[in-house]
Amino acid sequence: MSKLVIWGRTNSINVQKVLWTCAELELAFERIDAGLQFGVNKTPEYMQNNPNGLVPLINDNGFILWESHAIMRYLARKHDHQGAIAPQDPQKDALVDQWLDWYNTVAWPAMKPLFWGWVRTPAEQRNVDELEKARLQMVVILEMLEKQLGKAVYVSGAQFTLADIPLALLAFRWFNLALERPSFPNLSKWYEEIAKRPGFQKYSSGPLT
Ligand SMILES: N[C@@H](CCC(=O)N[C@@H](CS)C(=O)NCC(=O)O)C(=O)O
């Protein structure tokens, strides 16, 4: 029987993407804690499999893969024969890729300083002016998502797909930071819908750490 092993701590957004994807695809897996306080990810054995020394990493019956979006796509390609979360139509699938890339190149780079500043930096070391600039930048970026969600029910179109997963995990962080937030009705409506999914409930929730 094929065995999927995932390395990564459950509070990592990148690990959560993979765990939630497994939940959508109803895949069984073994998870090994790694990263931050758990260590593991900088050991020579781990670095041989992932030279970045980051989580997540998977071993799928001998096939090694890192980079959370590559892992999500791989699992969907292997198991999602009906196109339940990764559309088979090339254009719909390309739109999924577009938003996954947008998350990596635009949305998360803007969110990361806010998350690290408010969650992982001691209060006395925070640069509040820089954090305010980061918040305003994030508002501009979320306006793009707000517009998109005014045209489509889900991020890449009419169907829930892989593209919703990272952005919903980002939105969880945005909504759970004690920040001033403008009203984004489309984003809120989408988020409320997504928050009903068992994979989101199981892997995204809990205090931000
Ligand atoms: N682009 C990579 C980023 C992976 C990444 O930055 N992982 C973080 C956790 S979210 C990490 O391993 N940090 C070091 C640690 O946890 O020790 C991906 O999407 O998988």
Per residue in 53-78, pLDDT (tens digit) is 999 999 999 999 999 999 999 999 99
The closest of 162, 155, 139 to 85, measured between CA atoms, is: 162
Share of the chain above pLDDT 90, in %: 97
Q: How many CB atoms lie within 10 A of CB 43?
A: 11
**b/e per residue 76-112 (b: at least 16 CB within 10 A):** beebbeeeebbbeeeebbebbeebbebbeeebbebbe
**What are the tens digits of pLDDT across the range 112-154?**
999 999 999 999 999 999 999 999 999 999 999 999 999 999 9
Q: Is the CB of 13 under 6 A from ligand 1?
A: yes
Q: Answer whether 0.75 is exceeded by the pTM.
A: yes
pLDDT greater than 70 at residue 190: yes
**What are the tens digits of pLDDT across the range 6-33?**
999 999 999 999 999 999 999 999 999 9
The closest of 109, 180, 102, 184 to 142, measured between CA atoms, is: 184
pLDDT greater than 90 at residue 181: yes
Q: Is the CB of 110 under 6 A from ligand 1?
A: no
Domains in the chain, ordered, with CATH? 4-79 (3.40.30.10), 90-203 (1.20.1050.10)
Q: Are the C-beta atoms of 93 and 87 separated by less than 8 Å?
A: yes
Q: Is the CB of 33 under 6 A from ligand 1?
A: no
pLDDT (0 to 100) of residue 1 = 55
Question: Which parts of the chain fold into alpha helices (H)?
Answer: 13-25, 44-49, 68-79, 90-102, 108-115, 128-151, 164-176, 185-194, 198-203
Q: Are the C-beta atoms of 208 and 176 separated by less than 8 Å?
A: yes
Q: Is the CB of 204 under 6 A from ligand 1?
A: no
Q: Are the C-beta atoms of 117 and 130 separated by less than 8 Å?
A: yes
58 phi and psi angles, rounded to 5 deg: -125, 155
> Which residue puts its alpha carbon closest to atom 1 of ligand 1?
67
CA–CA separation, 142 and 95 (whole Å): 18
